[in-house]
Amino acid sequence: MTIEQQQRAVIEEFAEIEDWMDRYQLLIDLGQEQTPLPDSDKTADNLIDGCQSRVWLTCHREDDGTLTFRAESDALIVKGIIALLIRVVSGHTPEEILDADLHFIHDIGLTEHLSPTRSNGLLAMIKQMRYYAVAMKAAQA
């Protein structure tokens, strides 16, 4: 699936749930489905600056040039947010990630239902994913 197709799938999934408490529960469930990061990946280098909660993010370049992201957070909703981001961008090339307009965040109403500190954390997560994409793109050049 393309990034755009992934975004549409997320938007459709959230559109089926009207109540925001149920949407928060969906985020928590998505976060709990993530495979936990090994302790060896929970390093200061992988910790995202700008998040109120602790969020570790790793990126691996696959043989086909796509990037695979893995993450973990010590906060349940944040863990779900990063799981959503990973679902949309993981498995794509650095170019696809850098060219993507991640509109699904706004379209599902997430930005309206996060505290200012969580919104800043969300932006920090996206920034870090894009940073990895830039670094991996430069490494392949």
Active-site residues, by number, are: 51
Q: Are 57 and 48 in contact (CB under 8 A)?
A: yes
- What whole-number distance in Å separates Cα of residue 83 and Cα of residue 75? 12
CA torsion through residues 85, 88, 90, 96, sign: negative
**Which helix H or strand E contains 21, and what residues bound it?**
helix 20-33
